[in-house]
Amino acid sequence: MSKLGKKLFIIFLILVVFSMLLVGLFINYSIGERFDDFINLQQQESIEELLEMLRENFEAGSRNEINSLLNNFVRTHRIPVWLEDRDGNIIFAPTQHHQMMRRMMGDSHMVTERSDFLPGQSRREEIYVEDSLQATLYWQEVSSREQIDSELYNYFRRNVFQAIIFSALIVIVLVIIISFIISRIITEPLIKLKNAAFKVAEGDFDQKISNNGDDELAELITAFNQMTEKLVKLEKIRKESASDLAHELRTPITTIKGYIEAFEDGKISLNQENLDELKEEIARMVSLIEKLKEFAEAQNKIFNLQKEQIEINKLIKNVSKKKLKQIESKNIKLNLELEKELIIEADKDSLIQILNNLIENAVKYNRDNGKITIKSCQRDNNIIIQISDTGYGISREDLPYIFERFYRADKSRSSENGGTGIGLAVTKELIEAHGAKIEVDSNNNGSIFKIIFPV
């Protein structure tokens, strides 16, 4: 069992033992109260039976049997009773009380204060036969357990206490078993989470924990799995970016180095034409570095999206307006076909970058006097943004790879237009970070890029 499991187990056990102790104390206190009630009820039933038998004896005129009846009653039930006739003469009194009376009062048969001989709470009941008073029965009501037969009370209390102890032992055994199971259920995913976290700290980001619950612990595991997925993606991007960057920078640097060495060796003259070619390579490298900076900023956005409610048509109009000068420089016509007001939850800066990249791409690879059409609409549970152009299109062979970093479908044309193969890669990653997707279709008459946002 883990350290946390042991702590939980001990806490459960302490709580149960403490609860059982409180219950035991409460039951112990209640026993006396309930036992008094029980004895008084039994006493009342016994007195009622005695009264009935006394009435029968008075009706039958069997007065000689009354003393025997009362003696048996006192001996059996241990309830002090006192019987007087209608004139106040003593018919029966407990032996010790009767002897005490004789010593105190001589031959007198009258007693004025019966409570002196029946300590505690005394009660009385008159016995009638055909509406004629025959006698009065006095008896002592049990008012505290000290007056009850101690053997009976102790027997009752001992049995109840044994039942409590037996029940407590059963409960404790059950609690031990249940606590062990609950501790395992709670700590097992935490142990998995701890082990996975240690592996992530060591650089192994390929960790995923199975999760079938819906509580806070399950939410923690889900958050951990999402974190490791992002770390895996970041690590992949880091490795691929470093490799791609080295590859892309090698070409302009090699070219620049070749020119410098040729100048030094006198193999080529330092004229304006050669200098212009050298400047082009330097400009290409600067452009590449700028795009890499843009790519790095986009990566930061992917993991730090600040989502808000955005009216997408308004944003499309604002971005298009800023790009209008660039569009008109190639005599390209811009058409906006925007549906009713469409609201999406997204990061505004990321959406602006996505639209900028796709519009720039449509301008860059369009024909002179061509056309760009931007549409927006809602279809079922999706909001769709579509950007189409009348450019040269993308070949079927290149189409599956256009969203890969540094990939250029037409390398010569891309270089002429300053393309680096980074813009579409950034666009795709930003779109997917929003839970959306991008689709592309192309032919010789142009390309159509479609962004699909789930509502």
Q: Write b or e for each residue in 272-292: b if 16 or more Cβ atoms lie within 10 A of its Cβ, otherwise e.
A: eeeeeebeebeebbeebeebb
Q: pLDDT at residue 285 above 90?
A: no
pLDDT in tens, 184-236: 777 788 888 888 888 888 888 888 888 777 777 788 888 888 888 878 876 77
> Could you give phi then psi for residue 388, rounded to 5 degrees?
-125, 155
Q: Give me the residue label for tokens 């839970």.
A: 435
| Reported confidence tier of residue 414, pLDDT bands at 50, 70, 90 | very low
> Could you give phi then psi for residue 390, rounded to 5 degrees?
-110, 40
| Reported confidence tier of residue 303, pLDDT bands at 50, 70, 90 | low
Rounded to an integer, the average pLDDT of 291-296 is 71
CATH of domain 3-150: 3.30.450
Give CA–CA dist 354/451, Å, rounded.
10
Who has greater pLDDT, 147 or 28? 28
Q: Write out the residue limits of the CATH 1.10.287.130 domain(s) in the chain.
A: 205-304
pLDDT in tens, 15-25: 877 887 887 77
Fold assignment, 205-304? Helix Hairpins (1.10.287)
Q: Write out the residue limits of the CATH 3.30.565.10 domain(s) in the chain.
A: 306-455
Nearest-CA neighbor of 453 among 298, 343, 349?
Answer: 343
Two tokens, residue 139? 């008896």
Q: Write out the residue limits of the CATH 3.30.450 domain(s) in the chain.
A: 3-150
Give CA–CA dist 414/409, Å, rounded.
8
pLDDT in tens, 307-352: 999 999 999 999 999 999 889 888 999 999 998 889 999 999 889 9
Mean of the per-residue pLDDT values of the chain: 79
pLDDT in tens, 250-281: 777 887 888 788 888 887 777 888 788 888 87
Do the Cβ atoms of 394 and 449 come closer than 8 Å? no
pLDDT at 143: 52
Do the Cβ atoms of 421 and 406 come closer than 8 Å? yes
pLDDT at 383: 95
Q: What is the DSSP letter of 340?
A: S
pLDDT at 103: 42
The identity of residue 96, as a single letter, is Q
Rounded to an integer, the average pLDDT of 439-451 is 92
pLDDT at 23: 78
pTM across the whole model = 0.47
Instruction: Please list, in sequence order, all residues whose beta carbon lies within 8 angstroms of the beta carbon of residue 217, skipping any fewer than 6 positions away.
Output: 186, 189, 190
Q: Pairing mode, if any, of strands 333-338 and 437-443?
A: unpaired
CATH superfamily of 306-455: Histidine kinase-like ATPase, C-terminal domain (3.30.565.10)
Q: Write b or e for each residue in 53-84: b if 16 or more Cβ atoms lie within 10 A of its Cβ, otherwise e.
A: ebeebbeeeeeeebeebbeebbeebebbbbbb
